[in-house]
A and B are shown apart, each in its own frame.
Chain A
Amino acid sequence: MQKMAKTKNKLVTVTINGEQITVPAGTTILEAAKQAGFKIPTLCHHPDLKPRATCRLCLVEVKGQRRLQTACNTPVREGNEIITNSAEVREARKTILELILADHPQDCLKCSRNQNCELQKLADEYQIRENPFVVSAKNLPLEDSNPAIVRDMNKCVKCGRCVEVCQEIQQVGAINTANRSLAYGISTAFEEELADSTCTYCGQCVTVCPVGALKEKDDTARVWQALNNPELHVVVQTAPAVRVALGEEFGQKPGSITTGKMIAALKRLGFAKVFDTNFTADLTIIEESRELLKRLKDKGDLPLLTSCSPGWINFIEKMYPELLKHVSTCKSPQQMFGALAKTYYADKAQIPAEKIFVVSIMPCTAKKYECTRPEMKSSGYQDVDVVLTTRELAQMIKQSGLDFAALPEAEYDEPFGVSTGAATIFGATGGVMEAALRTVYETVAGKTLEDLDFKMVRGLDGIKEATVDLAGKKVKVAVANGLGNAKILLEMIKAGKCKYHFIEIMACPGGCIGGGGQPFGATKADKEKRLESLYAIDKKSKLRKSHENLAVTQVYDDFLRKTLDIYAHELLHTYYSDRKH
């Protein structure tokens, strides 16, 4: 404790542009300058990632040092006199920008990141008008052969953020630096396509890319086409994490709750029905709780691993196929929805399944792949036709000229409109676990759960654990977010050292709120705001336990129990494949 106090008290006083500031030892020049009110431009730096200092844009003068220093990875030292905006510094940064731009296509108008590009912003700030260097645009082929992620290496600025998330945070290792000198760049192993690599389509690389080199596959045209087709009945489902992030695309604060406006926007875009993926999230909990209780009772394969996150499913199929028996057979809520929309809903609304077109709005890039999996056709048709990310939905809203802030609040349509707070928190890491525990507890204990908040499994920690007393039986659970953390638990299972009964895994750090399809530029602090909002919605919900969702009960009574068991099972459950890389 004493030692900690000592380190904590160690302060350093420096002067930045003549202003004296005292900061804890170890603070970087970048951070100290920010606190003193000076912004230093960065391109490769990302606040949630380890500094790589490759772009050199954050150069500053430190008195007594012969050369300019990179602010992002240089800690301040006692007595430093730092100048962040001298003529020399500005000139150096401008030259660096000119060099980067000399190796970058000059076609901002055609770029998906136009007006939302970190390089473009810097070029504007530094008033790059004429480039003294010869612009040598490359002409590399676009990689767009998979359903989720598009790579345009012509636009890559080699900042390495994507490598940092893929190798260090997610530990997927699909992309890395390769070659050197002029040929240096980011590549998969042996330049193979993402589909042939270990890539899970989690899209974390896309969320950190400062330019338009990495993006989701744009499927908005397919949705516009469906909406314009009078033959089709186009319905849409929205994932829980979209409602607390979409607002950011329209200048609202991170975590703004936009459920009502989002529904109104979707209705105005022309969707016949706007449904809630939360409905099938509740259904997932019913199915998954049963599966857990059965495995506990029959001493089946434990721990049980959740199956909602398609990036995570890709990860275990490619990297740990020997552990697939642990994965819940429950389809993800998105796919359960698709299967029910083209069966139960088709019957109820008396619309032939082939006329129903199901669109999903997801915070996720891997969902684009999930809906194309060959086994996801249990309705007899592709259950979910198109998946759009939160960003793509925002794009459609903008194209329609809807004034998002001015939209009225609308409500979800029946029969997939009712949901519980338990379903809402699916969008947060730990949320599926908490929702399951609420239901499992009441099922086993046969009494009402007094305190619904399982705070142990909330928050942004990489791995969280808790022990729950289920009528005398101590059930140990764990929650991992980010595939690097998932790997730690998988290695434990592999070594036979896993003490947990039930584990929730989400591919993306923070869970779906931090998904690969969410608005650009979100930092950890922004993700926390999104999390808080999901828990706030849960807290305010009248129903907070999935088994209290009477609309779900109705689906069982009216449909699932009336069909063949085997068919009902096929609609809600799936299987996995060994795709060992």
Chain B
Amino acid sequence: MKDFMNELRKEQVLKIIKEKGATKENLLTILLTIQEASGRNYVHREWAKWVAEELGLPLSKVYDVLTFYAMFSTKPRGKYVLEICHSAPCHVAKSAAVVQMFTEELGIKMGETTADNLFTLQYTSCVGACDIGPVVKIGEKVYGNLTRDKVAQIIQTYREGASCLN
């Protein structure tokens, strides 16, 4: 039942809120930090409730924000969310092939998470790196000019837990 306890304790959430400042303007950055700290790239209802209480907002308003922005998830995702761009320039640069590479490499479909909870595959809109399309965005990093080898290498690097420079 209390699955979320494994990921973030109340003190951790309260600490994030305190660090960012418990005001309504900081809602987005608080939620993003919580999502990142969760290790599973999501915001659990209970954490959102603590945020709502501290910021003096109804939980329904926090939920509105969480469901409005595509960057948030209210369901657990992998440690790494691989966002493949499907806007026009990447589409022309054959992003569909990239999708196939990732799904084959990881053995999951778009929107799914690998069994080891390491990777989630999803689409993103343009990230502004059209010159190196097709691209995938992982956290703050963007990887371009993707080929089958590159895709395998990226996954390997993340599997090994090391960060990978472009």
Contacts and interface: CB of A to CB of B under 8 A. Distances in A.
Nearest to A581: B59
Contacts of B68: 178-180
A167 interface: yes
Contacts of B116: none
A176 B48 CA distance: 15
Nearest to B52: A189
Contacts of B64: 176-178
A173 B67 contact: no
Interface string A170-199: 001111111110010001111000000110
Interface string A527-563: 0000000000000000000000000000000000000
A174 B61 CA distance: 9
Given A176-B64, A178-B67, A180-B68, A190 B74 contact: yes
A174 B64 CA distance: 12
Interface residues of B, number: 13
Nearest to B74: A190
A183 B48 CA distance: 21
A243 to B, nearest CB: 36
A174 B60 CA distance: 6
Majority SS of interface residues in chain A? mixed
B63 interface: yes
Contacts of A167: 58, 60-61
A322 to B, nearest CB: 14
Interface in A150-169: 167
Interface in B44-65: 45, 48, 57-64
Nearest to B68: A180
Majority SS of interface residues in chain B? helix
B60 to A, nearest CB: 4
B58 A190 contact: no
Interface string B57-94: 11111111001100000100000000000000000000
Contact of A188 (B57, B60, B74): B60
A180 B67 contact: yes
Contacts of A183: 67
Contacts of B62: 189
Nearest to A178: B67
Nearest to B53: A581
Contacts of A173: 57-61
A189 B65 CA distance: 11
A176 B60 CA distance: 6
Interface-centre pick from A173, A190, A198 (highest chain B CB count, 10 A): A190
Contacts of B48: 189-190
B123 to A, nearest CB: 14
A190 B61 contact: no
A178 B57 CA distance: 15
A156 to B, nearest CB: 15
Contact of B61 (A176, A179, A197): A176
A559 B57 CA distance: 49
Interface in B19-63: 45, 48, 57-63
Given A190-B45, A190-B74, A178 B63 contact: yes
A179 B63 CA distance: 9
A319 to B, nearest CB: 10
Given A189-B45, A190-B45, A190-B74, A175 B67 contact: no
Nearest to B70: A180
A581 B59 CA distance: 10
A498 B18 CA distance: 30
Contacts of A179: 67-68
Given A189-B45, A190-B45, A197 B60 contact: yes
B122 to A, nearest CB: 15
B45 A176 contact: no
Interface-centre pick from B58, B60, B63 (highest chain A CB count, 10 A): B60
Interface string A197-222: 11000000000000000000000000
Nearest to A177: B64
B45 A198 contact: no
A459 to B, nearest CB: 29
A173 B60 CA distance: 6
Contacts of B45: 189-190
B102 to A, nearest CB: 24
A177 B68 CA distance: 9
A179 B57 CA distance: 18
Contact of B63 (A172, A180, A187, A581): A187
A189 B52 CA distance: 11
A265 to B, nearest CB: 40
Interface-centre pick from B57, B58, B59, B61 (highest chain A CB count, 10 A): B58
A177 B67 CA distance: 9
B63 A198 contact: no
Contacts of B67: 178-180, 183, 187
A183 B67 CA distance: 10
Contacts of A178: 60, 63-64, 67-68
A395 to B, nearest CB: 31
A173 B58 CA distance: 5
A178 B62 CA distance: 10
A183 B63 CA distance: 14
Contact of B59 (A177, A180, A189): A189
Interface of B: 45, 48, 57-64, 67-68, 74
22 contacts: A167-B61, A173-B57, A173-B59, A173-B60, A174-B58, A174-B60, A176-B58, A176-B60, A176-B63, A178-B63, A179-B68, A183-B67, A187-B67, A188-B63, A189-B58, A189-B59, A190-B48, A190-B59, A190-B74, A198-B58, A198-B60, A581-B59
Given A189-B45, A189-B48, 20 more contacts: A167-B58, A172-B58, A173-B58, A173-B60, A174-B58, A174-B60, A175-B60, A176-B58, A176-B61, A178-B63, A178-B67, A179-B68, A180-B67, A180-B68, A187-B67, A190-B45, A190-B63, A197-B59, A198-B60, A581-B59
Q: State the 8 A-B residue pairs at the shortest beta-carbon distance, nearest first.
A: A173-B58, A176-B60, A189-B59, A189-B63, A189-B60, A179-B67, A178-B67, A190-B45
